[in-house]
């Protein structure tokens, strides 16, 4: 009975798609997720900073930020990519027209050129969106500090996907626990920011302070209001 | 025969916290914006919208299982809600009146949550003085809910009209949020849109009671001024001379 030769080459291990995903895609996704979270969290930090709170205090951790922000960010990037591509194609056509190259001006770009352009525009759009989101968040944070309701900001005239899923809603708060000495009165100028770990966080527009209250001891009403009462806004703003 | 006035057409009375001392000395610009006190950058709100909460009440109290104490400032709007009523029940809120009687208020249903809410002008009628009001919520097939509404004195000056405005009659404005014993100074101006205000009359000072409240009275002339009138209370805020504009106009006619 012939014995297999010890020098015979063993067959190459077959790399499956699943192996490739585990080896490359999963770590890559993790890194991309962490980078994305870091950048998007910055927007949340900038929004809640004028309101004297942090994203974590109002319930925005890693998963919450990514899950609530991803769709809106993708929407903004796609929108900006489209605008950039249209601008680039229009500029190219204008350049050809100015040079008298009418056929080139009217010719459709090759598929490879279009793909390359789309990739570049998407990258540029992503960078612009990630850079501008914190600015937008800071502007809306300032609006909220002055008493305006800011909640799930979306682009007008588009699908109502939140491009910034933050919250500062006018709220009326009452104690449900029996009254005890030392229990502070709840102001009528509160913005509800969120809750985490059994603590609800509010921003008092009149006093310009944030307040933390045990969630089980209060009843929160969020009326359909665009702002806190005008009397809450400090006169010096 | 008295004629009921429409605030839009003839008579506009505006009570506003102000910073200046002497009524009639500063000439204030008439309101140009329908919603004063808001400084929204126009471009921001032209491009973005906010999704306001659709639910009117979070964390409703289970009826019969808890007796909430609702604390509210005088003349602030009030809203609270209960849940846990039997299907088909239409609960009613019973509130005591100062004369020992009681008033009944139907709630508004949102899903299985029933809400009771009053705006500033209504609160002045429903809860006419600072103090504690014990209420009951009853429904035929549900447990009875109880609780307290504690109305505390206002922390800042605010005022509303407590009755309709009639030519030749005396109108009253309830002013709250002053120090007990402090004088409440009020003046009447003409309410010319787009022009500076003209002093019509300084009203006699009213001394704030132990809750820091007072009733300001003014006899409305028989002949209306075409531009209407504006009642301003101290302290004047030169930056925000008409911050109560909407509240008060709603209190007058509700059509502003």
| Strand, helix or coil for residue B115 | strand
Q: Does A174 touch chain B (CB under 8 A)?
A: yes
Picking from B18, B33, B37, B175 by the largest number of A CB atoms within 10 A of its own CB, the best residue to mutate is: B37
**Residue B224 pLDDT level (bands cut at 50, 70, 90):** low
- pLDDT tens digit string along B99-135? 888 888 888 877 778 888 887 667 777 888 899 999 9
In a domain, B30, yes or no: no
Q: Does A79 touch chain B (CB under 8 A)?
A: no
The ipTM value here is 0.71
Q: Does B210 touch chain A (CB under 8 A)?
A: no
Over residues A134-157, the mean pLDDT reads: 88
Count of domains in chain A?
Answer: 1
Picking from B28, B59, B65 by the largest number of A CB atoms within 10 A of its own CB, the best residue to mutate is: B59
How far CA B242 is from CA of A1, A70, B17, B52, in Å, comes to 107, 43, 8, 26
Full residue range of the structural domain in which residue A92 is found:
17-232
| pLDDT for B201 | 82
**Taking a C-beta distance cutoff of 8 angstroms, is the pair B70, B147 a contact?**
yes
| Strand, helix or coil for residue B96 | strand
Same domain, B120 and B169: no
Percent of chain B clearing pLDDT 90 (strictly above) = 12
Name residues whose C-beta falls within 8 Å of residue A129's C-beta, 6 or more positions apart in sequence: A73, A76, A77, A80
Same domain, B68 and B89: yes
Residue B229, beta-bridge partner list: B190
Q: By CA distance, what is B36's nearest residue in A?
A: A230
Same domain, B143 and B160: no
**Residue B136 pLDDT level (bands cut at 50, 70, 90):** very high
Residue from the list B52, B59, B239 with its beta carbon closest to the beta carbon of A236: B239
In a domain, A30, yes or no: yes
Picking from A184, A219, A224 by the largest number of B CB atoms within 10 A of its own CB, the best residue to mutate is: A219
Over residues A138-145, the mean pLDDT reads: 90
Least confident of A15-24, B59-68, B143-152: A15-24
**Residue A207 pLDDT level (bands cut at 50, 70, 90):** confident
Same domain, B180 and B232: yes
Give the angle A78-A81-A83 at the CA atoms, nearest 5°: 110
Do B40 and A143 count as a contact with CB atoms less than 8 A apart?
yes
Count of domains in chain B?
Answer: 2
Q: Is the dihedral of CA A153, A155, A159, A163 positive or negative?
A: negative
In a domain, B109, yes or no: yes
**Residue B24 pLDDT level (bands cut at 50, 70, 90):** very low
How many angstroms separate the CA of residue A205 from the nearest CA in chain B? 13
Over residues A171-199, the mean pLDDT reads: 76
Full residue range of the structural domain in which residue B91 is found:
61-152
Six token digits for residue A115: 């793909």
In a domain, B67, yes or no: yes
Residue from the list A151, A185, A188 with its beta carbon closest to the beta carbon of B50: A151
Q: Does B53 touch chain A (CB under 8 A)?
A: yes
Q: Does B48 touch chain A (CB under 8 A)?
A: yes
In whole angstroms, what is the distance from residue A179 CA to residue B69 CA? 7
Same domain, B165 and B136: no
In a domain, B41, yes or no: no
Do A169 and B77 count as a contact with CB atoms less than 8 A apart?
no
Q: Please check the confidence at residue B230 and state whether its pLDDT lies above 80.
A: no
Residue A19: exposed, middle, or buried by beta-carbon count in 10 A (0-12, 13-18, 19+)? Answer: exposed
| pLDDT for B243 | 32
Percent of chain A clearing pLDDT 90 (strictly above) = 21
């Amino acid at each position: 009975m012939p014995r297999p030769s010890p020098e015979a080459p063993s067959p190459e291990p077959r790399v499956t798609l699943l192996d490739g995903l585990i080896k490359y895609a999963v770590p890559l996704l993790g890194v991309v997720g962490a980078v994305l979270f870091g950048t998007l969290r910055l927007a949340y930090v900038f929004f809640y900073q004028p309101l004297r709170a942090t994203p974590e205090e109002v319930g925005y951790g890693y998963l919450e930020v990514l899950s609530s922000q991803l769709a809106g960010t993708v929407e903004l990037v796609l929108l900006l990519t489209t605008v950039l591509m249209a601008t680039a194609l229009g500029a190219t056509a204008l350049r050809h027209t100015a040079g008298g190259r009418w056929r080139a001006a009217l010719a459709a770009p090759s598929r490879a050129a279009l793909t390359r352009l789309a990739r570049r525009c998407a990258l540029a759009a992503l960078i612009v969106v990630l850079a501008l989101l914190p600015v937008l968040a800071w502007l809306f944070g300032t609006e909220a500090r002055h008493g305006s309701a800011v909640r799930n900001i979306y682009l007008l005239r588009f699908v109502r996907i939140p491009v910034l899923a933050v919250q500062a809603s006018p709220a009326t708060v009452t104690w449900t626990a029996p009254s005890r000495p030392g229990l502070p009165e709840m102001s009528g100028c509160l913005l509800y920011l969120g809750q985490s770990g059994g603590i609800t966080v509010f921003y008092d527009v009149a006093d310009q302070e944030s307040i933390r209250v045990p969630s089980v001891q209060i009843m929160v009403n969020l009326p359909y209001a665009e702002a806190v009462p005008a009397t809450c806004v400090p006169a010096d703003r | 025969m008295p004629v009921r006035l429409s605030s839009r057409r003839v008579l506009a009375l505006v009570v506003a916290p102000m910073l200046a001392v002497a009524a009639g000395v500063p000439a204030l610009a008439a309101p140009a914006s329908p919603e004063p006190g808001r400084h929204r950058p126009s471009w921001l709100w032209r491009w973005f919208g906010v999704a306001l909460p659709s639910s009117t009440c979070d964390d409703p109290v289970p009826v019969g299982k808890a007796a909430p104490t609702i604390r509210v400032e005088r003349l602030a709007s009030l809203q609270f809600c209960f849940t846990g009523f039997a299907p088909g029940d239409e609960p009613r809120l019973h509130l005591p009146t100062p004369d020992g009687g009681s008033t009944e208020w139907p709630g508004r249903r949102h899903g299985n949550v029933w809400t009771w809410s009053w705006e500033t002008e209504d609160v002045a009628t429903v809860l006419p003085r600072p103090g504690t009001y014990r209420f009951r919520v009853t429904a035929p097939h549900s447990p009875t809910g109880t609780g307290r509404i504690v109305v505390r004195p206002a922390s800042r000056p605010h005022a509303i009209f407590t009755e309709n405005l009639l030519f030749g009659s005396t109108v009253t404005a309830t002013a709250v949020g002053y120090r007990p014993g402090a004088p409440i100074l009020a003046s009447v101006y003409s309410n010319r849109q787009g022009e500076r205000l003209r002093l019509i009359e300084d009203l006699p000072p009213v001394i704030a009671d132990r809750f820091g409240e007072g009733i300001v009275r003014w006899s409305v002339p028989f002949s209306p001024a075409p531009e209407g009138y504006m009642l301003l209370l101290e302290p004047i805020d030169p930056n925000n001379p008409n911050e109560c504009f909407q509240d008060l106009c709603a209190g007058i006619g509700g059509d502003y």
